[in-house]
């Protein structure tokens, strides 16, 4: 990547994505999920575990339709917005704008990228153990891997979320397949939160160590 950093569209998209995605994660943790309770079976045990975030969030009467909550509606609207932003980012990954191309996000997909990753880890690991990060000019393969994984996790969450947008029922208990999609959605959200935690921590450490990487991504440059 050049000294000027990321191309303008990537910078703008990053600000929008960061804002919408962090808000969406907070809304997702706080909202009540409207879900029709399964009518308890007279005998037998259900082997399908409902998606865990949906338990205990509502006080519906078993079998009766439920109303959508405001938090859930905001989550649906913001989710479709984030999915559209990620789709635009994936389309930009097909261009050669500075910092945009998909090859930069998956260095492990090529032999040269894997070599660079290996060398970077070997030379930088001692510093990481002491809380020191190398400046981007000494290699960015590891950071790009994290960016790629964030976008990959966002893509899976966007796809499962879109399926849930069309498939989630407020008038009948969820089908097993929708429960499975909802559980996948939530598990990947957990992974994304860990990746974003690492991403923001790395940014704070880089800034603290004088690398000024914010200048490469801020929308107003």
Residues of the shown chain interacting with ligand HEM in the complex, contacts defined by CB under 6 A: 6, 10, 14, 17-18, 21-22, 89, 99, 136, 140, 143, 147, 150-151, 154, 196, 199-200, 203, 213-214, 216-217
Least separation, in Å, of the C-beta of 1 and ligand HEM?
7
Residue whose entry in the numeric block shows the structure tokens 């929708």: 178
Least separation, in Å, of the C-beta of 52 and ligand HEM?
23
Nearest CB to ligand HEM, comparing residues 39 and 84: 84
* Residue 218: how many other CB atoms lie within 10 Å: 13
Nearest CB to ligand HEM, comparing residues 136 and 167: 136
Collapsing DSSP to helix, strand or coil, 40 comes out as coil
Nearest CB to ligand HEM, comparing residues 36 and 82: 82
Q: What is the DSSP letter of 109?
A: G
Least separation, in Å, of the C-beta of 18 and ligand HEM?
4
Nearest CB to ligand HEM, comparing residues 89 and 185: 89
Least separation, in Å, of the C-beta of 198 and ligand HEM?
11
What b/e string do you get for 156-193 counting C-beta neighbours within 10 Å, with b at 16 or more? bbbbbbebbeeebeeeebbeeebbebbbbbbebbeebe
Nearest CB to ligand HEM, comparing residues 4 and 46: 4
Least separation, in Å, of the C-beta of 21 and ligand HEM?
4
Query: Residue 203, Cα to own-chain centre: how many angstroms?
Result: 17
Token reading at 97: 């704008």
The Cα 173–Cα 33 span in angstroms is 13
3-state helix, strand, coil in the chain (%, to 5): 65, 0, 35
Nearest CB to ligand HEM, comparing residues 18 and 180: 18
Token reading at 120: 């970077």
Least separation, in Å, of the C-beta of 126 and ligand HEM?
22
């Amino acid at each position: 990547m050049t000294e000027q950093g990321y191309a303008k569209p990537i910078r703008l998209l990053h600000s929008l994505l960061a804002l919408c995605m962090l808000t969406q994660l907070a809304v997702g943790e706080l909202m009540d999920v409207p879900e029709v309770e399964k009518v308890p079976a007279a005998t037998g045990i259900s082997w399908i575990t409902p998606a865990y975030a949906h338990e205990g969030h509502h006080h519906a009467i078993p079998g009766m339709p439920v109303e959508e909550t405001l938090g859930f509606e905001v989550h649906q609207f913001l989710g479709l917005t984030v999915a559209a932003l990620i789709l635009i980012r994936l389309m930009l990954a097909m261009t050669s704008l500075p910092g945009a191309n998909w090859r930069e996000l998956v260095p492990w997909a090529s032999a040269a990228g894997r070599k660079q990753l290996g060398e970077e880890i070997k030379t930088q690991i001692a510093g990481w153990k002491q809380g020191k990060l190398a400046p981007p000019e000494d290699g960015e393969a590891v950071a790009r891997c994290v960016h790629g994984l964030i976008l990959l996790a966002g893509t899976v969450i966007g796809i499962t979320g879109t399926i849930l947008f069309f498939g989630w029922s407020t008038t009948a208990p969820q089908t097993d397949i929708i429960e499975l999609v909802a559980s996948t959605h939530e598990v990947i959200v957990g992974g994304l939160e860990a990746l974003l935690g690492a991403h923001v921590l790395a940014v704070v450490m880089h800034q603290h160590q004088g690398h000024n990487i914010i200048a490469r991504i801020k929308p107003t440059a």
